[in-house]
Amino acid sequence: MVTTRTALTEEDIRTLVKGATPDERAAAAQKLCKNIQGEPLTAEDRATAAEILRIMAADAAEMVRRALAVSLNSSPLLPRDVAVKLARDVEGVALPILSASPAFQDEDLIEIVRLGGPVRQLAVAKRPVLSRKVTNALAETGAERAVAAACANPGAEFSEGGLQLIVDRFEASERVLAAVAYRSVLPLSVTERLIGLVGEHLQEHLVSHHALSPETALKIVTGSTERATIDLVDQAGRTADVKGFVAHLSREGRLTPSLLLRAAAQGHMTFLEWSIAELAGVPHHRTWLMIHDAGPLGLRAIYERAGLPARLFPAFRAAADTFHSMEFDGGPRDRERFQQRMIERFLTQAPSAAREDVDYLLDKMDRLSEETVESGALVESA
């Protein structure tokens, strides 16, 4: 094994400690860092390397300290005390370490967020992974740019309370609100607050990518908020409380045959099951059996009990048969491709569907195709 002391000669160590110029010491520092990362180290080697790193972190020349910070900014071998010392250094030294070093613990990062100023906050906000403790600190005291960066960071985990505090503090900041809106997952309470704060473009993104409560969804779809339009079928497929969503739609007279048919054609089978159970007054588990596991007469029996129009039964039968013959493939945009194939097959097998429902499904299929093409283009460009 090549040890630290043999990889870095005694002359190199003397140069590092007593080199006449910062350039000489910085060169020795870079050599040491390269050897630390490139060679397997024993416990003794690690201890020796750590002591030399502490000498480098205390060097009077910024050039030397920066060489250390840049060379080992993402290395697991950098001791925590050295990382913390460098994080308190001038920005040219601190920022490379703050951006990626795994040496920090949450309490270190929280202290930096609270005391380090906007530039250091921004470096922390862009780290590959951020815990809820750290994002809560950013929510409480972070500057606008740092908070926006953290919200746009897919590796940052936020609590519901943290996001609510961010909306409280930055409700007039388009930059921050947009970063929150484009997060892949949002709590329902945050989504619904944003609906009333952001512009039309972001409203459309929110209603098409995040679940809303049935009350909010119906307010939007009926135009009482004069905001974006919403597709209740898409919302039904996203909601976590399908039973509650269905019950609310039923109370408001929105659980129509057309809505159920459009949901079935897109493969939102859980929503269809709960809807038919609600209309038929039959428990969900029995409805599920009759739709999926009771032979050819099961669906017809529960369908008739739900009071749905006889003329549409062939279309529902075609949707159920298509759903049973398909499965998700597990690839990127799996659900979108599944829905597109569902709609394609449904349209060739359901002549009893109304013209307006067919037009809706054709438009939905076009939009799914466009999204798939856009997604592919993004992947290629990346």
| pTM for this entry | 0.62
Q: Residue 300's domain spans which residues?
A: 242-382
Residue 296 CB: number of other CB atoms within 10 A?
8
Residue pair 276/291 in contact (Cβ under 8 Å)? The answer is yes
**Top-confidence residue, 95 or 34:** 95
In a domain, 225, yes or no: no
- In a domain, residue 287? The reply is yes
Is residue 378's pLDDT more than 50? Answer: no
User: Quick one: pLDDT band at residue 281, thresholds 50, 70, 90?
Assistant: very high
Domain membership of residue 228 (yes or no) is no
**Same structural domain, 362 and 248:** yes
Residue 163: in which H helix or E strand, if any?
Answer: helix 160-169
The residue out of 100, 116, 132 marking a domain boundary is 100
Q: Identify whether 334 is part of a domain.
A: yes
pLDDT digits over 200-242, tens only? Answer: 778 777 777 777 777 776 666 555 443 444 567 777 777 778 8
**Helix axes 106-115 and 80-87, enclosed angle (nearest 10):** 10
Burial class (CB in 10 A: 0-12, 13-18, 19+), 311: exposed
For residue 226, being part of any structural domain is answered with no
pLDDT at residue number 268: 85
Q: Are residues 286 and 174 in the same domain?
A: no
Q: Which of 193, 210, 227 is the last residue of a domain?
A: 210
Cα dihedral angle (76, 82, 86, 88), rounded to 10 degrees?
Answer: 120
Burial class (CB in 10 A: 0-12, 13-18, 19+), 329: exposed
DSSP 8-class letter at 105: -
| Mean pLDDT, residues 118-122 | 96
d(CA 303, CA 373): 37
Task: Give 44-91 pLDDT, tens digit per residue.
Answer: 767 777 787 887 888 778 888 888 888 888 888 888 999 999 999 999
Q: Which residue, 100, 120, 143, sits at the end of a domain?
A: 100
DSSP string covering 342-370? HHHHHHHH-TTS-HHHHHHHHHHHHHHHH
Work out the pLDDT band at 40, boundaries 50, 70, 90: low
Residue 222 lies in a domain: no
- The domain total for the chain is 3
94 and 116 inside one domain: no
Residues 367 and 247 in one domain: yes
Do 253 and 356 fall within a single domain?
Answer: yes
Is 367 a domain residue? yes
**Same domain flag for 160 and 71:** no
Give per-residue burial for 164-176: e unless 16+ CB within 10 Å, then b.
bbbbebbeebeeb
Domain match, 22 and 113 both:
no
Q: How many angstroms separate the CA atoms of 245 and 230, rounded?
A: 15
Residue 375 lies in a domain: yes
Query: What one-character DSSP code corresponds to residue 156?
Result: B
- Indicate the DSSP class of residue 231: -
